[in-house]
């Protein structure tokens, strides 16, 4: 292990002692916000320091075993211990390095997922519906809760636009790499001569802001319009103008919600989506500035980026950012996104690790 990494973990060990002493003082619980922050930090640091101490112990075991190699009676046992200690140290070293990688504080948060049809007309809208079904099934597999906030249905039953809210364990962290351009190659249902067409959709995933940290909206900068929600008919047709469209005048960003029959609840949901879009816009602008001299492996998240191709004749999905190709498109379209998500997360971790080692 490099000296620079040892120094970081020695500092964390010192910080853990400091946290233990602070939390031993019962008066700190009087400030619950500070108390929760400190206990969370203590839990995280304790895990890291525990692994570091295990590494140091196995390092000492390795040195002791090597010292026994000259004893004929102990040599065989020493070689076994050396192999076991080296394997444990390699595993712990990788875990320790990964533990130092920067974490996105939004990873634990719920997310808004937007799908918009792009080039390709009706086929693009049908593909948008297929993507929506894929994400909804993936969410179901993860045990997440989903809610449609707004939808614009095409003539053939696809989606011109769809906005979902997804809530559960590490939703944003699992879905954030889905932002970008999604391209499909297949024979459309509307194609009479069997020709393969290419069309596209864009997907945007935004973390739902924490209420304590969300952007403050100035009412003077908002235009709020009401309209009658579109529906499938029957008893669920919305008879009143309860759907809400909110426009942020300075940026031109728009959010709407027609899911609820209550105008008040639709307004609250639309404002939440608008807040997330403003926060996402600010985050992307900062990321673009930081990436001006170096484009990351996962990409900028720019929604114009073509990140993935779904080739139906070949049963193939290709993620262009990490050169990942999987020949199980049917399973993926039915919500089996685990391999895709794991590949993207591993690629980001590898890039961050390379940067960490470069600075070490």
pLDDT range class, residue 291, cuts 50, 70, 90: low
Question: How do residues 216-237 score in pLDDT, each as one tens digit?
Answer: 677 888 888 887 766 544 344 4
Answer for the pair 130, 205: CB distance below 8 angstroms, yes or no. Answer: no
For residue 38, pLDDT over 70 is answered with: yes
Q: Contact, 63 vs 53, CB < 8 A?
A: no
Q: What are phi and psi of 164, to 5 degrees?
A: -110, 150
The predicted model gives 250-268 an average pLDDT of 81
| Domains of the chain with bracketed CATH | 3-99 (1.20.58), 107-349 (3.30.70.1660)
- Picking from 61, 60, 49, 55, the residue whose alpha carbon sits closest to that of residue 94 is 55
pTM, 2 dp: 0.67
Mean pLDDT value across the chain: 84
Q: What is the per-residue pLDDT for 128? A: 94
Is the pLDDT score of 295 beyond 50? no
What average pLDDT does range 137-154 have in this prediction?
93
**Confidence at residue 76, expressed as pLDDT on a 0 to 100 scale:** 92
Average confidence (pLDDT) over 240-263: 80
Give the residue, 351 or 330, on which the prediction is more confident: 330
Q: Which of 310, 335, 303 is nearest to 135 (CA)?
A: 335
Asked whether the beta carbons of 156 and 126 are under 8 A apart, the reply is yes
- End-to-end C-alpha distance for the chain, whole angstroms: 11
């Amino acid at each position: 292990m490099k000296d620079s990494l040892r120094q970081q973990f020695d500092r964390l060990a010192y910080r853990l002692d400091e946290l233990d002493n602070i939390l031993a003082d019962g008066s700190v619980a009087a400030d619950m916000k500070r108390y929760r922050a400190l206990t969370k930090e203590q839990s995280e640091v304790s895990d890291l320091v525990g692994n570091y101490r295990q590494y140091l112990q196995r390092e000492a075991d390795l040195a002791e075993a090597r010292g026994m190699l000259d004893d004929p009676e102990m040599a065989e046992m020493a070689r076994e211990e050396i192999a076991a200690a080296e394997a444990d140290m390699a595993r712990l070293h990788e875990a320790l390095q990964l533990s130092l990688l920067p974490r996105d504080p939004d990873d634990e948060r719920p997310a808004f997922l937007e799908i918009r049809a792009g080039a390709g007309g009706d086929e693009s809208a049908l593909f948008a519906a297929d993507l929506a079904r894929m994400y909804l099934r993936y969410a179901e597999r993860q045990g997440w809760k989903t809610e449609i906030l707004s939808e614009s249905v095409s003539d053939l039953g696809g989606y011109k636009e769809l906005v979902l809210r997804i809530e559960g364990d590490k939703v944003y962290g699992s879905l954030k790499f889905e932002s970008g351009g999604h391209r499909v190659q297949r024979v459309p249902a509307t194609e009479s001569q069997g020709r393969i067409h290419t069309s596209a959709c864009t997907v945007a995933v935004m973390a739902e802001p924490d209420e304590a940290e969300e952007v403050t909206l100035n009412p003077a900068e908002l235009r709020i319009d009401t309209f009658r929600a579109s529906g499938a008919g029957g008893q669920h047709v919305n008879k009143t103008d309860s759907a809400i469209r909110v426009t942020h005048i300075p940026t031109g960003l728009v959010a709407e919600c027609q899911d609820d029959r209550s105008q008040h609840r639709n307004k609250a949901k639309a404002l939440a989506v608008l807040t997330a879009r403003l926060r996402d816009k600010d985050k992307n602008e900062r990321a673009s500035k930081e990436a001006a001299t170096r484009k990351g492996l996962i990409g900028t998240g720019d929604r114009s980026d073509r990140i993935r191709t779904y080739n139906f004749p070949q049963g193939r999905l290709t993620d262009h950012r990490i050169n990942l190709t999987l020949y199980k498109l049917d399973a993926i379209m039915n919500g089996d996104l685990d391999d895709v998500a794991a590949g993207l997360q591993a690629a980001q971790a590898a890039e961050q690790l390379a940067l960490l080692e470069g600075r070490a």
